[in-house]
Amino acid sequence: MPGFSVLGMTIQPTMVALFILAFTLGMCVPFRYGIERLRGFGRAGLSKLPYKPPPDALKGADLEWNGKNRDEKDRIK
């Protein structure tokens, strides 16, 4: 299928049509809904990255999170 050249790259007409279709469909989605979907995708992607907090990150943590403020049934006092 012959394409056309833009900045030295050959672009197929079907790719242009798919891009325009995706752009049009994206514009039909309410803004808040679209942003929520993008944020959810970002959270899902970032949750896969390994993370280790810095050693001094827990110095100011509440007592209820480090187990000192819990009873025998592991409930917060």
Residue with tokens 């798919």: 18
Segments of 1-77 assigned E as strands: 4-6, 9-11
Residue 62 neighbours by CB under 8 Å, 6+ apart: 69
pLDDT mean over 21-29: 90
pLDDT mean over 8-13: 83
Looking at per-residue confidence, does 77 or 14 come out higher?
14
Residue 31 neighbours by CB under 8 Å, 6+ apart: none
pLDDT at 24: 92
- Are the beta carbons of 77 and 65 closer than 8 angstroms? no
Give the model confidence (pLDDT) of 40-61 as tens digits.
Answer: 888 888 888 887 777 766 665 5
Answering whether pTM is above 0.75, one says no
Copy the structure tokens of residue 64. Answer: 């209820």
